[in-house]
Homo-oligomer: A and B are copies of this chain.
Amino acid sequence: MKTIQISNIVNGVDVAKLTQTIDSLTKNTDLAKFHFCAKNNWISGGENQTTINEFYGAGKKHVRSKPFVYTKDEPPILLGSDHGANPVEYALTALAGCVTTTLVYYAAAMNVIIRKVESTLEGDIDLRGLLNIDENVKAGYESIQIKFKIDSDAPKEVLEKLVEIAKKHSPVANTVTNATPINISLV
């Protein structure tokens, strides 16, 4: 008897695997607990480097295919040497990736075929917060605007629903829109 393999890849996402993942996390909630980490080294001035190499999830440690190393720096006007995007630009990069992947995975699960997803992210920061010039000025982004352009034959209301799901269920968007505690210490 022959085994027939049915491939069900939608938007580059293996929907059979996605469904299996959801089933196993529903049955064993401990498998849903993921622990992510990053190691950072300061170079000089506004330049520093982060290495991402391993994480813990689904009950075990996972090592990436290679360590991913990211350089952050400031442009000259912010007293840096422009060797990389700066941290607030990395924050937009993280958010862009997260809402996009969330949208694409949900679209796959809903069998909505997507050809293209483009987005622009924008945010305002008043440097008086960072520099402690005015105690009443927020140091971070006042708000962040995300505009999606999606190429798909799905009706507009389905795409609007997907955009809302992306905002609600994206881990990075959720981290930003809720007040997420940071515990900082010196060792």
Contact = CB atoms under 8 A, between A and B. Distances in A.
Interface of A: 11-14, 17-18, 21-22, 25-26, 29, 32-48, 50, 52, 55, 57-58, 62, 64-65, 68, 70, 72, 74-75, 77-79, 82, 84-102, 104-105, 114, 116-134, 137-150, 156, 159-160, 163-164, 166-187
A143 to B, nearest CB: 4
7 contacts: A13-B46, A33-B126, A34-B125, A36-B88, A91-B175, A144-B181, A146-B183
Contacts of A138: 174, 178
Copy total for this chain: 2
Given A127-B32, A144-B180, A179-B179, A119 B40 contact: yes
Contacts of A11: 44-45
Contact of A48 (B17, B96, B183): B96
A168 B118 CA distance: 33
Given A34-B124, A184-B148, A98 B87 contact: yes
A183 B81 CA distance: 32
